[in-house]
């Protein structure tokens, strides 16, 4: 009976997907009209003396005042505080940096969100070269710097980069992972051109990462109000030959415990597998997620994951340096990975240095597409007059049933604008069912990428659903919850994540394109800790809140 009903729906979905796919998206940068006009400083723009000027900063979509509209936080280098913009509705944002209490200046790097004290207001962690900051959200009205109060002050200056809240022991309290890039000091790090690690194609550039000392990654356990450094006892500090940048959490081997992937620059990337007893072991090498297809360590920057083939498991995508391929590691199930970059349709975009990246289903056909943003590390590269640039365009891949088609050049002027981009985050900030992207550009205003016209204006509309999960026994942000959505004969999976992309935070709500399906048959949630919950017959084209029960 069910199957008989299912067939016509499937046929309609296939027809509509084909119709929509024939149209190209038209992404525009609407940052100016939205009010995101202030440039975000990040070191030199014509020349950079030190590596700290190159790694830039992340960006976040976080609904800090729970009004249902995703707000924007932009991490900044010295010369400006990191900025928060309140989403006013109607496509407008208002700078509320000062009134919320964001005054600190410094080399802000990563940003990640999570309700660490389970009071219903999402808190914000900002990593720095220097001291990190944990901002407690006080009722959506201001942010209090509680770093020292919760024991997160570091004993020495560290180059903290990617971060993520993660409840690794499923006790309902969010713990915190912080990656460290390397050891950098303005007084001791050599100047450009000083040694062989301070040149790029014959021109003197800032030194590193090669030649600079490694540092270790950090895991803090949430003891309830205060955090405790468990890096050594958990095994997280064990890898000592990696320049760690982007961080992505996820249950990669399907055992119900959240693992941690770390994109590493010029060194093997790390896959910390959660052993379930408070310990992590780096299994990236044996699981095929450390190196490329030829056994070479690439320069990993950003990292994201999606069940892009509807196989029920998250596969991993990583951005790398110029003269390298982007890397797509297909999860073979149980967290065994294979580099499928070339067979999946990638491999031609080797002139870009890639940073922020993320899967998002821009056309709502149920196949997660992929956006990555670019810009070379060295402004000096522009002197070479070659096809590698400090400011460059983005890359948009449409997911055509598991094959990625590069549609960048016909996807609208927003994709083709040239910036030296770093952080990238996603949210449906106007709650219209289409997902938007915000980009942190070095020494420029951010970009806000939005479709100029919804597909409904130009033909049949694909459907969508967005889920806002709230943990009760689990952490209130539901970080680590895994969701299976069945609609129109398609089964999609996703996970609520803190951190990800390049040092950035996307909206904690999950978005699913549904193709032609006008309703969702079933939503199955595996809450952190393993409790299962099933919701059936949900309407499409809605944002639905689901509370753990």
Q: Which residues bind Ca ion (CB under 5 A)?
A: 63, 65, 67, 69, 71, 87, 115, 117, 119, 121, 123, 361, 363, 365, 367, 369, 428, 430, 432, 434
**Measured from the CB of residue 266, what is the shortest distance to Ca ion in angstroms?**
33
- Which of 58, 59, 56 minimizes the C-alpha distance to 71? 59
State CA 548 to chain mean position distance. 25
The residue among 69 and 245 lying less far from Ca ion, judged by its C-beta, is 69
- Asked whether 393 and 415 are in contact (CB, 8 A), the reply is yes
- Asked whether 250 and 497 are in contact (CB, 8 A), the reply is yes
Rounded Cα distance between 133 and 406, Å, is 38
Residues in the chain: 549
- Which of 59, 139, 148, 145 minimizes the C-alpha distance to 355? 59
DSSP 337: E
- Asked whether 25 and 363 are in contact (CB, 8 A), the reply is yes
* Phi and psi, residue 318, nearest 5°: -130, 135
Rounded Cα distance between 318 and 301, Å, is 7
**Measured from the CB of residue 361, what is the shortest distance to Ca ion in angstroms?**
4
Rounded Cα distance between 524 and 201, Å, is 52
* Phi and psi, residue 234, nearest 5°: -85, -15
The residue among 20 and 523 lying less far from Ca ion, judged by its C-beta, is 20
The residue among 123 and 495 lying less far from Ca ion, judged by its C-beta, is 123
**Measured from the CB of residue 117, what is the shortest distance to Ca ion in angstroms?**
5
**Measured from the CB of residue 142, what is the shortest distance to Ca ion in angstroms?**
13
Output helix, strand, coil percentages for the chain, rounded to the nearest 5: 10, 40, 50
The residue among 229 and 432 lying less far from Ca ion, judged by its C-beta, is 432
The residue among 61 and 261 lying less far from Ca ion, judged by its C-beta, is 61
**Measured from the CB of residue 451, what is the shortest distance to Ca ion in angstroms?**
8
**Measured from the CB of residue 119, what is the shortest distance to Ca ion in angstroms?**
4
DSSP 197: G
Helix (H) or strand (E) holding 7: helix 2-21
The residue among 71 and 339 lying less far from Ca ion, judged by its C-beta, is 71
**Measured from the CB of residue 507, what is the shortest distance to Ca ion in angstroms?**
10
The residue among 221 and 509 lying less far from Ca ion, judged by its C-beta, is 509
DSSP 6: H
Cβ count within 10 A of residue 343:
14
Rounded Cα distance between 246 and 355, Å, is 9
**Measured from the CB of residue 373, what is the shortest distance to Ca ion in angstroms?**
18
The residue among 284 and 407 lying less far from Ca ion, judged by its C-beta, is 407
- Asked whether 523 and 489 are in contact (CB, 8 A), the reply is no
Q: What angle do CA 445, 449, 450 make, to 5 degrees?
A: 140
What letters, b where the CB count within 10 A reaches 16 and e where it falls short, cover 379-409? bbbeeeeeebbbbbbbbbbbbeeeebebbbe
**Measured from the CB of residue 69, what is the shortest distance to Ca ion in angstroms?**
4
Rounded Cα distance between 23 and 450, Å, is 16
**Measured from the CB of residue 363, what is the shortest distance to Ca ion in angstroms?**
5
The residue among 229 and 430 lying less far from Ca ion, judged by its C-beta, is 430
The residue among 431 and 486 lying less far from Ca ion, judged by its C-beta, is 431
Query: Pairing state of beta strands 542-547 and 463-470?
Result: parallel
The residue among 215 and 369 lying less far from Ca ion, judged by its C-beta, is 369
**Measured from the CB of residue 456, what is the shortest distance to Ca ion in angstroms?**
12
Rounded Cα distance between 25 and 416, Å, is 13
The residue among 27 and 390 lying less far from Ca ion, judged by its C-beta, is 27
DSSP 127: E
Task: State the distance between the two ends of the chain, measured CA to CA, in whole angstroms.
Answer: 31
**Measured from the CB of residue 92, what is the shortest distance to Ca ion in angstroms?**
12
- Asked whether 488 and 366 are in contact (CB, 8 A), the reply is yes
The residue among 139 and 276 lying less far from Ca ion, judged by its C-beta, is 139
**Measured from the CB of residue 433, what is the shortest distance to Ca ion in angstroms?**
7
What is the three-class DSSP state of 457?
A: helix
């Amino acid at each position: 009976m069910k199957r008989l009903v299912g067939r016509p729906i499937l046929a309609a979905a296939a027809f509509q997907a084909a119709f929509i796919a024939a149209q190209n998206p038209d992404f525009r940068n609407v940052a100016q009209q939205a009010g995101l006009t202030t440039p975000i400083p990040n070191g030199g723009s014509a020349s950079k003396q030190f590596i700290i000027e190159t790694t830039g900063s992340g960006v976040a979509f976080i609904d800090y005042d729970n009004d249902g509209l995703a707000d924007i936080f932009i991490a900044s280098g010295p010369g400006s505080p990191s900025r928060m913009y309140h989403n006013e509705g109607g496509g407008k944002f208002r700078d509320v940096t000062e009134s919320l209490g964001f005054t600190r200046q410094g080399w802000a790097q990563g940003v990640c969100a999570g309700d660490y004290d389970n009071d219903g207001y999402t808190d914000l962690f900002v990593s720095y070269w220097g001291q990190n900051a944990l901002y407690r959200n006080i009722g959506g009205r201001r942010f209090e710097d509680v770093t020292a109060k919760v024991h997160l002050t570091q004993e020495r200056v560290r180059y903290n980069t990617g971060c993520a809240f993660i409840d690794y022991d499923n006790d309902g309290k969010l713990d915190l992972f912080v990656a460290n890039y390397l050891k950098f000091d303005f007084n001791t790090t050599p100047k450009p051109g000083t040694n062989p690690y301070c040149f790029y194609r014959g021109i003197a550039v800032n030194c590193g990462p090669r030649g600079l000392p490694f540092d270790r990654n950090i895991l803090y356990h949430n003891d309830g109000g205060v955090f405790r450094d468990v890096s050594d006892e958990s095994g997280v500090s064990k890898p000592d030959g990696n320049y760690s940048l982007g961080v992505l959490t996820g249950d990669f081997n399907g055992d119900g415990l959240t693992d941690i992937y770390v994109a590493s620059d010029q060194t093997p990337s790390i896959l910390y597998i959660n052993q379930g007893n408070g310990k992590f072991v780096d299994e990236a090498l044996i699981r095929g997620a450390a190196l490329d297809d030829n056994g070479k360590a690439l320069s990993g920057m950003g990292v994201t994951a999606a069940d892009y083939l509807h196989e029920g498991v998250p596969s991993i995508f990583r951005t790398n340096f110029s003269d390298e391929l982007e890397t797509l590691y297909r999860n073979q199930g149980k967290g065994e990975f294979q580099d499928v970059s070339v067979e999946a349709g990638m491999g031609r975009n080797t002139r870009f240095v890639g940073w922020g990246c993320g899967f998002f289903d821009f056309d709502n056909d149920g196949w997660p597409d992929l956006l990555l943003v670019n810009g070379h590390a060295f402004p000096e590269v522009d002197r070479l007059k070659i096809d590698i640039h400090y400011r460059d365009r983005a890359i948009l891949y449409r997911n055509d049933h598991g094959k990625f088609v590069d549609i960048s050049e016909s996807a609208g002027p927003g994709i083709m604008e040239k910036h030296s981009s770093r952080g990238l985050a996603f949210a449906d900030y106007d709650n219209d069912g289409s997902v938007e992207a915000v980009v942190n550009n070095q020494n420029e205003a951010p970009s806000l990428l939005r479709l100029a016209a919804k597909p409904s204006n130009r033909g049949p509309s694909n459907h969508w659903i967005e889920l806002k999960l709230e943990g009760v026994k689990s952490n209130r942000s539901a970080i680590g919850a895994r969701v299976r959505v069945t609609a129109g004969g398609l089964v999609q999976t996703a996970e609520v994540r803190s951190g990800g992309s390049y040092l950035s935070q996307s909206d904690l709500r999950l978005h699913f394109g549904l193709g032609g399906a006008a309703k969702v048959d079933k939503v199955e949630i595996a809450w952190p800790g393993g409790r299962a919950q099933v919701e059936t017959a949900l309407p499409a084209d809605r944002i639905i809140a689901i509370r753990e029960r």
